[in-house]
Structures are given as structure tokens and as C-alpha cells.
């Protein structure tokens, strides 16, 4: 039996908008095992990103229980969440979010800098080579295409050797070909390194390549049939 | 990669904005350093001028003490005169070491000056006691008057340059149509006397038609400790006032105190504005980078990491501003000096703005401290951003 890297029970996240309370995700029960490749799918506003952010320790949950890599982070303070992100979790975003003033190499080194790691450049170069950007390490983000930027972002997310990689619509801003390339890279990392990957996507074709799909509707997990009506 | 290089690259992103902010800081620092320098230079120049007067006390005809002090230092014509009997009485006092009578008169020359706009020439009637009280007055050429009543002049260094006269030349005094012969020229002394034309006291009294009159008496005491006691004894003399060196110094410093207070408040306001400018600039750049800051947090940056980056940016602005400001101040002294000389009623000779290394250091350190303070709020704002809200803010 595999280890649970993520265990969520009745996970709920509420946003307060003036007097109104908005349940972005509600009563989510979820177990994710090491080496899983999970795609979270659902229509816009279904709570995909909120779920991903909560699982990725980017924001505290409102209620329920959340266990990441054996650590209970349900009521964890920001300091603990920082350490979780720094050591065990990697992030890739839809619009890449590279730091525009830093080169590809520097962007990849950034998490190591925050983790106060030694030997930053060799590890960063190794990862840039792995995503096929070995010759572009000194280029600034503005000198790169969308696909290249996302590959830098993946290298950046992996540089600290995280256990789980979170990707929010990683192909959402890319053309079909670049999107497939990115998906392939993620798939390879999952297969060869056993990296747990959790991503959100609108793209059914890419979603189908995942080992498991979680369908969300109005903040709740629903069976595929129910969800697809609304996609 | 270091915090400082991340901060530096951020500042380079909006070059004009950064340069303007640094410029504001630099101007504030330059003003501060110049003010320090002015304070020191003025006091030193004043002390120097007073020491070079050679006497401890100046007796003048009764009048406004401010006017007397100013006239005394600038050598301007006395508006009031006293009888030379006063001189004779004081000279007999056993406490007096050296005593010097003087009669100063200014003569307007319509044709004078490089652009023929007219100038004032200052004539000072003196006796040989002048040389006793001012032992540093040396002849560059020529020598002392041939007699106590000769129609001769000795010219101060600058006056000689201005009038372009050599020993043996003649000098025409326009108002009274008198021709005098140059008997000697003094070397430069670095005091107001450099611009003076000296004539024998008796000659001055005769040609300016002021028989038996004096504008001032310079007194050097045998023992400086006796100055207060001596001053009191002079109160019995009618129609005169006594100005002591300490008084003159105090009077003039009082006179410039209001100008100084004004300048200090301007400097304070400049610094305050510069601080607000720095805070505003950094705050603006923090808001512009909300998503980047969120990403950094997602990548494992702690609140302290973000605080450090933003704080470093402010400090960099202030360090550069401080360096430029200090440079600006040391390069701009001559301009500041001209402005001050133009504005003040009396400015001592010599360097008026004295920029000492410790002033630069103090102003520089003050700027850095100021930078650290002004950076706290923006850095705190940035460090408290929650990653999700920050990242999703632009979507």
C-alpha cells in the first residue's frame, strides 16, 4: 500500500465578501498517494484553484482537516506553511510568474536562495538542462517564449527537490504544441522521478493523460457524469 | 545571488523613478552638509577675523551696537564721531598695553569699478600704533608714511590690485579733490584691511574736515582677564560705547542665528519630503510587484526574506542619495558661498562654507538611518502579503 502524501477530511475554504460568505470549496474528502498524477477539472468558479492553493499550503483552510506528508497543517501558522512550501512543495502558475528582472538561471536559483541552500548554480543549471533550456540560462524572461518561460517555471519549482508539484493551469496560456510539451515534461517527471503532480486544467485531452481526475462543481467533488454536463 | 542584487535589479526596473528619488535624497543631504559647513565656516571665519583685529576692545561713538559691530568688522565709515580727548584719557590707563586711534571715511567714486558703476573706497586714518596692534601687517613694497601729516597713503593688498597702483603712484580722492602719493603697499593679510586705503590720522582729520575726531579706538590690554573691569571703568566716559570681542562674536552670531534657523527648517523640510518620497516610491513599487512578492512566498520566501529585499531597496536609494548629496555639497560650496555672501549683512573673510569630513559622515549616516526608517512601512506591507491573495490579485 502506498503512503498518503495528502489526506483531506471535510476540507472547507470560505471567503468573506463583505457580509456574504462564499464557500469556495466545501467538505472535500481526498486522499492522494505518492506518485499520483492528479488533474483537477471543472468549470470556471468550481473551486479548482482554491483547492489547489489549500492543498499547496498557499492559504490556510477555514475548517476540516488537512494532512500533508504526514504533517497536520489544518491550523498551521504562516511560519509552518512557509517551511512546508520551502522544503516539500513546488508551484507552477498559469502565467508563469517569473521575476522579470532575473535571468532564467537566477529565477531557478530563487527557491534555493530562500532555502539558504549552498551549491545553487549547479543544481539550477542541471534542471534547466533537463527542461531543454541549457543554452538559455542567462536570458531574461522577456527574451523567451511562453513555452520556454513555463519550462523555466517548472525548473524553478523542482530545484529544491519537492515531494509534490502543484500546477495551476500550466498550459492555459500556451499554444497546443507548447502545452503538450509542458504536459509531457510533467508526465516524465511523474514517471521517472515518482514526483506527485497535482494540476488544474480546462483541457479534457490533457486531463485524460492524468492517472486520476477529480471533478469539481460548486466547490464539491462530483462524479464525472455530473460534472461533464457543465464543462 | 544575494538580497542586494535582487534589490538592485528591482531598482533598475524603473530607472527614472529611482533616479528622481535618489536625486531628492541627494539634494536634502547636500543642503544638510552645506548647512553644517556654513555653520562651522562662519564661526571659524568670524573668530579668525576677530583675532586678526589685534585688539580686545573697540571704543566707538554711541550708537546701535549691531551697526557698530558690523561697521567695525567691515571697516565701513563711522556714522558717528568722538573727540580724540577720549583717546588721550584712555591711553593713560595703566592697564592698556596698546591703543590705536582710527578715523574711517568712505569716499564714493563715480568712475570707479570695472564697469564704471562707481565704488566706495574706504580710507582709514591711522598712527604708527596700527603696526603695533597688527604685527602681521607687512609691507609688500614701500614703507611707512614719511611724516605724521603727509599727503600719503599705504594701500591694502586688494585695494592696490583694484586701483592698480604701485609705490610712487598717485591716487586721486574724488569727493575732496585731493591727490595723495602711494608710500607703501601691504601684503595680503586675509582680513578686511586688505581692501583699505590707509592715511596718516592727522591727514585724514585735515582732508575730510574732521579735526580732532575719531571713529574708533582699538585697545589691547596687558591682561585679558581684566577686560570686564576695564570695560566698566569706561562707562564713565560720556558718548561712547565699548564693544568687546566676545560681544562682537555674540552679536554677529545672533545676527546670523535667524538666517540659520530659517535654513535649518528648510533643510528639515527637504529631508522630510525626501523621506516621504522614498517611502512613496518603494510603496508604489511594492504594490506594482504584488504578484511577484506572492510568487516569492510560494517559492519559500518568509516574511523576513521579503522584508529584507524591500528594506534593502530603500537603503540602496538612501546610500546612493547620500553619496551623491555629499559629493554635490563638496562640489557646490563655492556657489553656496556666493549666495550666502550675497544674503548676509556681514560675512567674514576666508572660506565661509567649511565642509569637514565628519559633516559628510554625519549627513551620510543620517540619510542611511532615514532610509531604514522610511523603508519599514513598505517592507512591512510587502512582508505581510498573503501568497494567494498576492498571486491572484492580478487575475
Chain A CB contacts of B388 under 8 Å are: 53, 58-59
User: Whole-angstrom Cα distance, residue B172 to residue B176?
Assistant: 9
How many angstroms separate the CA atoms of B340 and B76, rounded? 20
- Is A100 at the interface with chain B, CB within 8 A? yes
Which SS3 state, helix, strand or coil, does residue B366 take? helix
Run of H or E residues at A10: strand A4-17
Distance CA(A132)–CA(B38), nearest Å, equals 64
Q: Closest by alpha carbon to A110, among A84, A91, A95, A129?
A: A91
Its sign, for the CA torsion A100, A101, A106, A110, is negative
Contacts of A100 (CB under 8 A, 6+ apart): A140, A141, A142, B13, B292
B1 with A113: Cβ contact below 8 A: yes
Q: Do A111 and B300 touch (CB under 8 A)?
A: yes
What are A142-193's pLDDT values in tens digits?
Answer: 999 999 999 999 999 999 999 999 999 999 888 989 988 898 999 999 999 8
Helix (H, G, I), strand (E, B) or coil at B315: helix
Interface test with A, best of B6, B9, B299 (most A CBs within 10 A): B299
Q: Nearest Cα to A156, choosing from A213, A195, A99?
A: A99
Q: Which of the residues in chain A have pLDDT under 50?
A: 1, 229-231
Structural contact between residues B69 and B252, judged by C-beta atoms closer than 8 angstroms: yes
Backbone angles phi, psi at A108, to 5 degrees: -70, -30
C-alpha cell at B20: 528622481
Tell the residue number behind the cell numbers 614719511, with chain if given. Answer: B146
User: At which residue does the C-alpha cell 497536520 appear?
Assistant: A72
Cell 601684503 -> residue: B187
Q: How close is the nearest chain B Cα to the Cα of A91, in Å?
A: 7
- CA distances A63 to A18, A50, A84, Å, are 20, 14, 19
CB atoms within 10 A of CB B350: 16
Inter-chain CB proximity A114 and B13 less than 8 Å = no
Position A83 scores a pLDDT of 92
pLDDT of residue B70: 63
Cβ–Cβ under 8 Å, residues A196 and A164: yes
CA distance A54 to B336: 62
Q: How many CB pairs under 8 A join A and B?
A: 69
The C-alpha atoms of residue A9 and residue A4 are separated, in whole angstroms, by 13
| Bridge pairing between strands A20-33 and A37-41 | unpaired
Confirm if B15 and B312 have CB atoms less than 8 A apart. Answer: no
Strands A196-200, A37-41: pairing is parallel
* Surface of A (153-192) touching B: CB under 8 A: 156-157, 160
Strands B240-244 and B57-61: what pairing? Answer: antiparallel
Distance from CA of B382 to the nearest CA of A (A): 15
At which residue does the C-alpha cell 561713538 appear? B61
Which pLDDT does position A33 carry in this prediction?
A: 93
Distance from the A57 Cα atom to the nearest Cα atom in chain B, whole angstroms? 9
Pairing of strands B178-186, B152-155: parallel
| Per-residue pLDDT tens listing for chain B (395 residues) | 788 999 999 999 999 999 999 999 999 899 888 888 888 888 788 777 777 777 888 888 877 656 656 665 655 544 578 888 888 888 888 999 899 998 888 877 776 655 666 677 888 999 989 988 888 888 998 999 999 889 999 999 988 888 888 898 988 888 788 899 999 999 988 777 888 899 999 999 998 888 888 888 889 888 877 888 888 888 888 878 888 877 777 777 777 777 778 877 888 788 888 888 899 999 999 999 999 999 999 999 999 999 999 999 999 999 999 999 999 998 888 888 888 778 776 677 777 788 888 888 988 998 888 888 999 999 999 999 888 888 877 65
Burial of B37 (0-12, 13-18, 19+ CB in 10 A): buried
Cell digits of residue A11: 476540507
Residue pair B69/B200 in contact by the 8 Å Cβ criterion: no
CA diameter of chain B: 99
What's the distance, CA B329 to chain centroid? 15
* CA–CA separation, A220 and A204 (whole Å): 19
Element (H, E) at B292: helix B290-298
Sign of the CA dihedral running B195, B198, B201, B204: negative
Residues A159 and A124 sit within 8 Å (Cβ to Cβ): yes
Residue of B nearest to A96 (CA): B295
Mutate to test the interface with B, among A24, A99, A117 (most CBs of B within 10 A): A99
Closest Cα in chain B, distance from residue A101 (Å): 6
Which residues of A fall within a CB distance of 8 Å from B10?
101
CB-CB neighbours of B269 under 10 Å: 12
- The helix/strand/coil state of A178 is helix
Tell me which residue has cell 548629496: B325
Could you give the CA distance from residue B74 to residue A164 in angstroms, rounded to a whole number?
84
Radius of gyration of chain A (CA): 17
pLDDT on residue A230: 46
pLDDT of B256 reads 74
Dist CA B143 CA B186 (whole Å): 9
Beta carbons within 10 angstroms of residue B176's beta carbon: 12
Amino acid at each position: 500500500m502506498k503512503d498518503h502524501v495528502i489526506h483531506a477530511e471535510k476540507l472547507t475554504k470560505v471567503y468573506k465578501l463583505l457580509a456574504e460568505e462564499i464557500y469556495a470549496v466545501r467538505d472535500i474528502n481526498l486522499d492522494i498517494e505518492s506518485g499520483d498524477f492528479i488533474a483537477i477539472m471543472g468549470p470556471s468558479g468550481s473551486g479548482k484553484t482554491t483547492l489547489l492553493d489549500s492543498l499547496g499550503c498557499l492559504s490556510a483552510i477555514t475548517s476540516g482537516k488537512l494532512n500533508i506528508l504526514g504533517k497536520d497543517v489544518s491550523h498551521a501558522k504562516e511560519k509552518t506553511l512557509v517551511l512546508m512550501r520551502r522544503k516539500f512543495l513546488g508551484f507552477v502558475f498559469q502565467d508563469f510568474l517569473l521575476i522579470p528582472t532575473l535571468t532564467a538561471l537566477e529565477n531557478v536559483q530563487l527557491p534555493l536562495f530562500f532555502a539558504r541552500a549552498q551549491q545553487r548554480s549547479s543544481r539550477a543549471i542541471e534542471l534547466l538542462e533537463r527542461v531543454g533550456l541549457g543554452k538559455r540560462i542567462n536570458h531574461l524572461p522577456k527574451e523567451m517564449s511562453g513555452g520556454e518561460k513555463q519550462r523555466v517555471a517548472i525548473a524553478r519549482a523542482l530545484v529544491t527537490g519537492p515531494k509534490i508539484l502543484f500546477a495551476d493551469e500550466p498550459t492555459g496560456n500556451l499554444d497546443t504544441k507548447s502545452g503538450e510539451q509542458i504536459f509531457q515534461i510533467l508526465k516524465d517527471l511523474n514517471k521517472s522521478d515518482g514526483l506527485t503532480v497535482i494540476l488544474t486544467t480546462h483541457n479534457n485531452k490533457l486531463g485524460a493523460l492524468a492517472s486520476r481526475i477529480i471533478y469539481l462543481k460548486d466547490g464539491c467533488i462530483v462524479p464525472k457524469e455530473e460534472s461533464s454536463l457543465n464543462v | 545571488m544575494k538580497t542586494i542584487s535582487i534589490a538592485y535589479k528591482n531598482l533598475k526596473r524603473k530607472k527614472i523613478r529611482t533616479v528622481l528619488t535618489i536625486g531628492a535624497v541627494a539634494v536634502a543631504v547636500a543642503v544638510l552638509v552645506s548647512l553644517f559647513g556654513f555653520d562651522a565656516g562662519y564661526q571659524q571665519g568670524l573668530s579668525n577675523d576677530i583675532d586678526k583685529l589685534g585688539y580686545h576692545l573697540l571704543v566707538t561713538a554711541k550708537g546701535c551696537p549691531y551697526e557698530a559691530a558690523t561697521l567695525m568688522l567691515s571697516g565701513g565709515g563711522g556714522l558717528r564721531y568722538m573727540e580724540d580727548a577720549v583717546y588721550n584719557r584712555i591711553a593713560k590707563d595703566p592697564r592698556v598695553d596698546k591703543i590705536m586711534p582710527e578715523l574711517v571715511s568712505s569716499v564714493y567714486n563715480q568712475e570707479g569699478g570695472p564697469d564704471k558703476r562707481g565704488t566706495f573706497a574706504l580710507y582709514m586714518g591711522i598712527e604708527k600704533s596700527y603696526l603695533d596692534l597688527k604685527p602681521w601687517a607687512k609691507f609688500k613694497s614701500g614703507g611707512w608714511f614719511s611724516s605724521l601729516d603727509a599727503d600719503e597713503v599705504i594701500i591694502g593688498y586688494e585695494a592696490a590690485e583694484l586701483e592698480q597702483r604701485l609705490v610712487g603712484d598717485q591716487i586721486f580722492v574724488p569727493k575732496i579733490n585731493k591727490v595723495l602719493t602711494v608710500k607703501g603697499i601691504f601684503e595680503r593679510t586675509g582680513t578686511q584691511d586688505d581692501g583699505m586705503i590707509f592715511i596718516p590720522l592727522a591727514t585724514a582729520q585735515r582732508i575730510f574736515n574732521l579735526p580732532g575726531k575719531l571713529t574708533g579706538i582699538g585697545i589691547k590690554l596687558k591682561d585679558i582677564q581684566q577686560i570686564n573691569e576695564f570695560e566698566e571703568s569706561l562707562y564713565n566716559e560720556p558718548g561712547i560705547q565699548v564693544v568687546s570681542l566676545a560681544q562682537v562674536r555674540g552679536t554677529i552670531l545672533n545676527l546670523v542665528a535667524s538666517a540659520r534657523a530659517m535654513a535649518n527648517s528648510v533643510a528639515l523640510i527637504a529631508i522630510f519630503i525626501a523621506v516621504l518620497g522614498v517611502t512613496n516610491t518603494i510603496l508604489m513599487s511594492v504594490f506594482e510587484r504584488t504578484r511577484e512578492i506572492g510568487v516569492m512566498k510560494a517559492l519559500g520566501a518568509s516574511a523576513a526574506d521579503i522584508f529584507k529585499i524591500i528594506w534593502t531597496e530603500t537603503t540602496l536609494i538612501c546610500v546612493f542619495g547620500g553619496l551623491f548629496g555629499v559629493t554635490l555639497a563638496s562640489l557646490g560650496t563655492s556657489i553656496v558661498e556666493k549666495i550666502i555672501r550675497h544674503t548676509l549683512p556681514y560675512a567674514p573673510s576666508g572660506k565661509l562654507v567649511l565642509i569637514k569630513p565628519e559633516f559628510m559622515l554625519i549627513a551620510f549616516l543620517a540619510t542611511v538611518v532615514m532610509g531604514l526608517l522610511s523603508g519599514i512601512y513598505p517592507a512591512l506591507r510587502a512582508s505581510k502579503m498573503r501568497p494567494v491573495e498576492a498571486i491572484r490579485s492580478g487575475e
